[in-house]
């Protein structure tokens, strides 16, 4: 009987303990709103306005150098700054410098010596690859520069290919006469600046590789050919060699002042220096308090007759309020400051329609963490600077913002 009572008490205690443990297990809260049982709502905002403004183009990060005119955009010159390496060879008594060759590269197989640009040299003309624009070269003249004439052409082919297919073209200038100036290592103000300009009307546009295009292979450069005399007690050897001095910076100067943008369209262009500001009617009170935004798509319809395929654009929320900027002036620097990371996003189009996800900034505006001052639109720097994107604000194609949200 005692054994039965003990067993019964054990069973009862086990049941109570199990019930207590089971009763204390918490059901986790579901924070994944994409699976929330709350029904999402949609807000469509059509109250969007925009305006154009222009900033002097700066193409220091572009992978090409240009001279000439394309799509009405004028490029009067390109500048190349050569580095300071190896020039002390001229002071080495064991070295004899035989020749100097300045070389630029192109992928134009039809480029001829008649159509090559002219090369100029200046030991004291400064430029900033990141900031210099055509505004710094108004009334510019080559009168104080050394004129080195046009280039010799060398067309290269793939020697491993039985068909000897074209690979690239070299533009080569003999710059032996500049040795004394280039090798003046005592002049602290020496900048070794070269420039190219169209030589005649036989060519209206030339495209070359910049230092950003390759890993040294086709960078602008000077090749120094030299002999080193090696003398020992019983012999003298002549070692023939070469040294390469690469570009320290390069820049195409684009002058867009002769082109007027479309007045009835929003436009973006690196070559025109064209950017835009969008004002979207959205603020902290646009959604119910505490709403969680699942998606926020800004939809822009481009004019496909004027906008190339794969033209990438960037949107960036403004960081501070700016006084009214007119669309006629060309500013030396961008008057609009933007927030950047983590809200700056880029987008390609699909069939001419840009769908740009700006959920993060909209969520923080809705929560009161950010202010909606406006949005800057600009062209990605990797786009062809001579192409543009244009957007309509007409009925049926005007921009709109579609927000899908869940109200708590």
Which 3-state string (H, E, C) describes 211-252?
CCCCCCCCCCEEEEEEEEEEECCCCEEEEEEEEEEEEEEEEE
Query: Which pLDDT tens digit goes with each residue over 275-304?
Result: 999 999 999 999 999 999 999 999 999 999
- Per the CB < 8 A criterion, the answer to whether 196 and 65 are in contact is yes
Q: Is the predicted pLDDT of residue 142 greater than 90, yes or no?
A: yes
Strands of the sheet with 349-350, listed across from one edge: 41-45, 400-406, 292-301, 353-357, 349-350
CA nearest to 261, candidates 271, 272, 252:
272
Q: Is the dihedral of CA 365, 284, 315, 400 positive or negative?
A: positive
- Per the CB < 8 A criterion, the answer to whether 352 and 304 are in contact is yes
Q: What is the per-residue pLDDT for 12? A: 44
Look at 260 and 295; give whichever has higher pLDDT: 295
> Quick check: bond before 342 cis, omega within 30?
yes
Q: Taking every pair of C-alpha atoms in the chain, what is the biggest distance, in angstroms? A: 122
| Banded model confidence at residue 187, pLDDT cuts 50, 70, 90 | confident
pTM: 0.84
Query: Which pLDDT tens digit goes with each residue over 6-17?
Result: 444 444 444 444
Q: Is the predicted pLDDT of residue 79 greater than 90, yes or no?
A: yes
Mean pLDDT within 21-35:
39
217: which 2 tokens? 């292979």
DSSP 335: S
Q: What is the per-residue pLDDT for 26? A: 33
- Per the CB < 8 A criterion, the answer to whether 217 and 107 are in contact is no
Percent of the chain with pLDDT over 70: 89
Q: Is the predicted pLDDT of residue 404 greater than 90, yes or no?
A: yes
Q: Is the predicted pLDDT of residue 23 greater than 60, yes or no?
A: no
Residue 172 forms beta bridges with which residues?
A: 103, 152
| Banded model confidence at residue 201, pLDDT cuts 50, 70, 90 | low
| Banded model confidence at residue 19, pLDDT cuts 50, 70, 90 | very low
């Amino acid at each position: 009987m005692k054994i039965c009572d003990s067993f019964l008490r054990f069973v009862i205690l086990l049941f109570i303990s199990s019930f207590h443990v089971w009763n204390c297990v918490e059901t986790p809260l579901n924070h994944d709103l994409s699976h929330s049982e709350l029904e999402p709502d949609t807000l469509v905002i059509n109250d969007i306005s925009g305006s154009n403004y222009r900033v002097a183009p700066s193409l220091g990060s572009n992978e090409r150098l240009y001279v000439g005119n394309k799509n009405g955009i004028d490029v009067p010159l390109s500048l190349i700054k050569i580095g300071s390496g190896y020039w002390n060879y001229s002071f080495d008594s064991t070295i004899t410098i035989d020749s100097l060759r300045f070389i630029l590269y192109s992928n134009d197989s039809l480029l001829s010596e008649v159509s090559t640009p002219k090369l100029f040299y200046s030991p004291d003309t400064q430029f900033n690859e990141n900031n210099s624009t055509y505004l710094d070269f108004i009334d510019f003249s080559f009168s104080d520069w050394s004129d080195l004439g046009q280039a010799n052409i060398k067309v290269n082919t793939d020697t491993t290919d039985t068909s000897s297919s074209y690979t690239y073209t070299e533009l080569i200038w003999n710059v032996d006469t500049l040795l004394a100036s280039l090798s003046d290592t005592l002049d602290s103000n020496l900048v070794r600046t070269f420039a190219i300009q169209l030589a005649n009307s036989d060519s209206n546009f030339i495209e070359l590789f910049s230092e950003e295009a390759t890993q040294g292979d086709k960078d602008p450069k000077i090749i120094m050919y030299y002999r080193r005399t090696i003398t020992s007690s019983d012999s003298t050897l002549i070692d023939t060699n070469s040294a390469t001095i690469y570009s320290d910076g390069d820049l195409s100067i684009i002058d867009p002042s002769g082109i007027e943008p479309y007045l009835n369209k929003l436009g973006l262009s690196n070559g025109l220096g064209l950017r835009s500001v969008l004002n979207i009617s959205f603020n902290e009170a646009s959604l119910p308090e505490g709403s969680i935004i699942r998606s926020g798509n800004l939809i822009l319809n481009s004019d496909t007759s004027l906008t190339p395929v794969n033209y990438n654009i960037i949107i960036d929320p403004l960081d501070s309020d700016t006084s009214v900027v007119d669309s006629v002036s060309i500013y030396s620097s961008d008057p609009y400051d933007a927030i950047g990371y983590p809200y700056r996003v880029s987008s390609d189009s699909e069939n001419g329609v840009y769908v740009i996800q700006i959920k993060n900034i909209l969520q923080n505006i809705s929560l009161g963490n950010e202010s909606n001052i406006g949005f800057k639109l600009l062209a990605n720097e990797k786009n062809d600077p001579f192409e543009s994107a244009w957007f309509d604000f007409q009925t049926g194609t005007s921009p709109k913002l579609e927000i899908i949200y869940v109200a708590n």
